[in-house]
């Protein structure tokens, strides 16, 4: 099994040009990616924190097998 990396990230409220909002919970990198994908005009820290966990798996030990199930 792979290693688990744990990070505390800030929750950010993103506002788009049309006024709709969305929460971004992936850290600073996720906010930058969202800024490039959607017409974001404002980013506000909510004051909340969230635990982000990533698992890195060795493809040799656990190869990716595509599934046809939806």
**What pLDDT does residue 56 have?**
76
In this structure, are residues 6 and 43 in contact, taking their beta carbons and an 8 Å threshold?
no
- In the predicted model, is pLDDT for residue 9 greater than 60? yes
| Residues 30-63: tens digit of each pLDDT | 899 998 899 999 999 999 999 988 887 766 666 6
Q: Are 25 and 11 in contact (CB under 8 A)?
A: yes
Domain annotation covers residue 55: no
Question: For residues 2 and 56, is the Cβ–Cβ distance under 8 A?
Answer: yes
Strand partners, 25: none
Total count of domains within the chain: 1
pLDDT range class, residue 65, cuts 50, 70, 90: confident
Asked if the structure places residue 16 within a domain, the reply is yes
Tell me whether residue 61 is in a domain: no
* pLDDT for 1: 57
Share of the chain above pLDDT 90, in %: 47
pLDDT of residue 3: 79
64 domain residue, yes or no: no
């Amino acid at each position: 099994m792979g290693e688990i990396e744990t990070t505390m990230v800030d929750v950010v409220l993103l506002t788009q040009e049309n006024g709709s909002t969305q929460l971004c919970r992936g850290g600073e990198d996720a906010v930058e990616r969202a800024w490039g994908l959607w017409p974001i005009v404002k980013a506000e820290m909510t004051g909340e924190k969230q635990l982000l966990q990533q698992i890195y798996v060795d493809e040799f030990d656990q190869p990716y097998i595509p599934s046809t199930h939806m």
